[in-house]
Amino acid sequence: MAETINAGFYTQAEAMLGVGTPYSQASNETCSAIRALKKDARVTAGA
């Protein structure tokens, strides 16, 4: 993604952000994992 933007291929980079693309799927999975870690951390800290 960064390489595409740095190369000046802005239209391609924008298309890579679309719904259902590998980048958007990876981003969603990363956010879900971070939320789960935060939840687990709160539970562990309160135990």
CB proximity list for 16: less than 8 A, separation 6 or greater: 1, 4, 23
- Looking at the predicted structure, is the pLDDT value of residue 27 above 70? yes
Two structure tokens written together for 18: 């679309």
pTM for the whole structure: 0.65
CA–CA separation, 30 and 19 (whole Å):
15
Res. 42: pLDDT tops 90 = no
At residue 1, the pLDDT reads 87
Q: What is the mean pLDDT of the chain?
A: 92
The model's confidence at residue 2, banded by pLDDT at 50, 70 and 90, is: very high
Decide if 23 contacts 17 (C-beta within 8 A): yes
pLDDT of residue 44: 75
According to DSSP, residue 1 is labeled: -
